[in-house]
Amino acid sequence: MQIDIDANSTIGENSAFEGRFLVRGNLRIDGTFEGKTLVVDQLQIGEKAKVKTSINATSVVVEGLVIGNITANRRILLLSTARVLGDLKTPELIIQDGVVLEGRCTISHVRIEDTRAYIESLYERK
Q: What are phi and psi of 116, to 5 degrees?
A: -60, -50
Mean pLDDT rounded to a whole number for the chain: 88
Q: Give me the percent of the chain exceeding a pLDDT of 70.
A: 87
82-110 average pLDDT score: 94
80: nearest Cα among 103, 99, 61, 102: 99
84: nearest Cα among 98, 6, 75, 74: 98
- Which residues partner with 34 through β-bridges? 18, 52
29, exposed or middle or buried, with CB in 10 Å at 0-12, 13-18, 19+? buried
State the pLDDT at residue 76. 97
Q: What is the pLDDT of residues 34-48, one digit of tens each?
A: 988 888 999 999 999
Q: Give me the percent of the chain exceeding a pLDDT of 90.
A: 60
- The more confident residue out of 51 and 7 is 51
